Amino acid sequence: MTNTNEISIRQLEIIEVSGKILIEKGIKGLTTKTVASEMNFSESAIYRHFKSKEEILVALLSLLKQNMNKRLTAQIKPQNSATENFKAVFTSQFNYFKNNPHFVVAVLSDGLIDESKEIKAIILQLMQNKIQLLAQILEQGKQSNEFTTEISTEDLLPIILGTFRFQMLKWKLSGFQYDISIEGNKIIENLLLLIQKK
Amino acid sequence: MTNTNEISIRQLEIIEVSGKILIEKGIKGLTTKTVASEMNFSESAIYRHFKSKEEILVALLSLLKQNMNKRLTAQIKPQNSATENFKAVFTSQFNYFKNNPHFVVAVLSDGLIDESKEIKAIILQLMQNKIQLLAQILEQGKQSNEFTTEISTEDLLPIILGTFRFQMLKWKLSGFQYDISIEGNKIIENLLLLIQKK
DNA sequence: CATAAGTGAGTGAATATTCACACTACAAAG
DNA sequence: CTTTGTAGTGTGAATATTCACTCACTTATG
């Protein structure tokens, strides 16, 4: 707990374990006891690495926000078509969650939102970031005549984001039993079919 | 607490109060203390009407499942077009939630799902019911050549349901500040624009 | 040998639930 | 009409459990 911004190896372990518990047992299941037990050490040891339980959640979500922003921004290339950019962003998302299923909490974080003001703020930022990114691609697609101009970008966003979130919820409810990168890409193709200019 | 199936006035009051707390403060805020306080009586009095806290949640969701099924089924009329049926179902939904915002929990129930096996089961049934209803309308629309046949009904469902859920989430996050029946119908028009045959 | 990392025991607050008791309405019995 | 039994509804106090968190302490290591 030396530096506030840098995350130590142990902190990262705790964050990952917390995400895992969160996805498996929900907020109610995430206690100092369950985290400690999963880490194979005592409850008090947690406080060597985090000031409070809330800080773990904040770190988890902040880390994700950072990762996701960096990762998704890198997918968008002006020289590529909007369709390609659209696909690249979602493919990256699905691949990421396929490899880090316990971080799906960040998408399905409705439950977390009532935890604290700070947590709510980060979650809203996370959503906002994704909205901005997506809006950019949609605008590009409209200008390049790839996407329909019948529906405003603002109105298109909730359709796309909602579909994505629902897909993730389905995956979680299935117990992560199928390959989300395959199923996810199918849905993306369908979404594209709908929003592409006929 | 005489009959298990019939809901007494007091039980209904407790259910409504619980929904209100749930929406305002989340699962964590729903305690015997807060329910009792909102009901203006003691914690122990709750147990005159419900065996346990879980039973309140179960009753809340069961009631909703019942209401929603009856209400939505009544909206579908074979003599109407699929487009009309589609609109009728969602208009009914938005109107219902406009008047009963504290029942939005049932739509955004990701957090509730980890509470218990029984609660999870009811929520899944709720979703399943809506999926079936919607699938019926979509099939009708395909046969009558109103809706696109490019995308299978199965693949269309998550897009529509996801959009609906996201809209409800946005509404909740805004603190129910705008008129969901107006905003909701707008989104429905857009969805129809997308899935209608060109 | 100083600092980071871990431990077991303990703490107070919160939580769901129980229990003995009190009040009320009302129907049956006298 | 009055008495009385009973079912329903409420209460405050007490309960065990769980929770996040603290503290004095050991241990290990660079």
- pLDDT of the residue at B98: 97
Would you give the DSSP letter of residue B111? T
Domain range spanning residue A178? 60-195
pLDDT for the residue numbered A5: 65
In this complex, which residue's CA is closest to the C1' atom of nucleotide D11? B42
Residue B128 lies in a domain: yes
Residue nearest to nucleotide C10 (CA to C1'): A44
A94 and A184 Cβ atoms separated by less than 8 Å: yes
Instruction: Read off the pLDDT of residues A155-175 as tens digits, 9 standing for 90 and up.
Output: 999 999 999 999 999 999 999
Contacts of A102 (CB under 8 A, 6+ apart): A16, A19, A20, A22, A23, A24
Q: How far is CA B132 from the centre of its chain?
A: 14
Supply the mean pLDDT for chain B: 95
Number of domains in chain A: 1
Distance between A183 CA and the closest CA of chain B, angstroms: 10
Q: For residues B195 and B198, what is the distance between their CA atoms, to the nearest angstrom?
A: 9
Mean pLDDT for the stretch of residues A133-149: 97
- Answer whether residue A5 is part of any domain: no
Task: Report if residue A7 sits inside a domain.
Answer: no
Protein residue at shortest CA distance from C1' of D22: A44
Measured in angstroms, what separates residue A182's CA from nucleotide D8's C1'?
58
Q: What does each C-alpha distance from B20 to B13, B133, B155, B180 come to in angstroms?
A: 11, 28, 34, 17
The 10s digit of each residue's pLDDT in A14-32 is 999 999 999 999 999 999 9
DSSP-assigned letter for residue A52: S
Cα–Cα distance for residue pair A157/A142, rounded to 1 Å:
13
**Residue B189 pLDDT greater than 80, yes or no:** yes
User: What's B142's domain CATH number?
Assistant: 1.10.357.10
pLDDT greater than 70 at residue A40: yes
Amino acid code (one letter) for A37:
S
**What tens digit of pLDDT does each residue of B84-131 get?**
999 999 999 999 999 999 899 888 888 899 999 999 999 999 999 999
- Comparing CB atoms, the residue among B111, B114, B166 nearest residue A25 is B114
Nearest to B111 among A111, A150, A162 (CB): A111
Q: Is residue B159 part of a domain?
A: yes
Alpha-carbon Rg for chain A in angstroms: 18
Q: How far off is chain B from A15, nearest CA to CA, in Å?
A: 20
Measuring CA to CA, which residue among B61, B68, B70 is closest to residue B123?
Answer: B61
Strand C neighbours with CB under 7 A? A 1-2, 8, 10, 41-45, 48-49; B 30-33, 43-44, 46-47, 51-54
Q: Which residues of A touch B104 (CB under 8 A)?
A: none
Identify the residue among A114, A151, A155 best suited for mutation to test binding to B, counting B beta carbons within 10 A and taking the highest. A114
Instruction: Give me the residues paired with residue A196 across strands.
Output: A147
Rounded mean pLDDT, B150-179: 97
pLDDT at A110: 83
C-alpha span between A198 and A141 (Å, rounded): 13
Tens of pLDDT, residues B35-65:
999 999 999 999 999 999 999 999 999 999 9
* Res. B3: pLDDT tops 90: no
How far is the alpha carbon of A9 from chain B, nearest alpha carbon, in Å? Answer: 29
pLDDT for the residue numbered B5: 63
Domain membership of residue A100 (yes or no) is yes
B47 belongs to a structural domain: no
Cα–Cα distance measured from residue A80 to residue A87, given in angstroms and rounded to the nearest whole number: 11
pTM passes above 0.85: yes
Q: Is residue A28 part of a domain?
A: no
CB-nearest to B155 from A114, A148, A187 is A187
pLDDT at B2 over 50: no
| Whether A111 and B162 lie within 8 Å, measured CB to CB | no
Cα distance between the two ends of chain A: 56
**pLDDT digits 0-9 by tens, B65-85:** 999 999 999 999 999 999 999
Q: CA distances (Å), A158 to each of A92, A118, B170, in order?
A: 20, 24, 9
CA A191/CA B64 separation, integer angstroms: 31
In a domain, A188, yes or no: yes
Chain B residues close to A156, C-beta within 8 Å: 190
Instruction: Tell me what pLDDT residue A1 has.
Output: 53
In order, the DSSP letters of A65-134 are HHHHHHHHHHH--TTS-HHHHHHHHHHHHHHHHHH-GGGGGGTSTTTGGGT-HHHHHHHHHHHHHHHHHH
| pLDDT 10s digits, A72-88 | 999 999 999 999 999 99
- What share of chain A has pLDDT > 90, as a percent? 91
pLDDT tens column, A122-134:
999 999 999 999 9
